Amino acid sequence: MSYKIPVLFVCTGNSARSQIAEALLRHTDSQNFEAASAGTNPKPINPKALEVLEKAGVSTEGLYSKSLETLSDRRFDVVITLCDKAAQECQLLANPAEVLAWNFEDPSASSDPKAFEHILQAIHERIKLFVLVKTKRN
């Protein structure tokens, strides 16, 4: 069995952006990456996040909201924060090999009816580039 790069996506609530990112990385390349997500202050998953993933044909199986502390015993090669607040609060993490800060607006706070679709598309584009860069190195 080949090594999968463990990646953790973090945002404050673990209710939308990080859940979407976790599902999209699994969907895009589950052979090379092991995706997880957590929040610095977790809240229940926003149903619109699950809806937009399912509409895009992305599995939502296994997604649930969790706190950063519940994953403190796991080692991640890459930690990707999805908002500035989470980036500031991620000093709790035990020495990941690489930390990337991606800043996406919270679709839950938007009045745009297509906010979740836009976030899904934006995160997916970033993940595709991330996968391309990381898999070319190997």
**pLDDT tens profile 68-127:** 889 888 889 999 988 766 666 665 555 667 888 898 999 999 999 999 999 999 999 999
- 105 CB-contact burial (10 Å; exposed 0-12 / middle 13-18 / buried 19+): middle
Please give the mean pLDDT across all residues of the chain. Answer: 89
Query: pLDDT above 90 covers what percent of the chain?
Result: 67
Q: Find all residues with CB under 8 Å of 63, minimum gap 6, and list them.
A: 19, 22, 23, 37, 45, 50
Overall pTM surpassing 0.85 (yes/no): yes
CA distance readout (Å), 121 to 35, 95, 105, 116, 124: 18, 30, 13, 9, 5
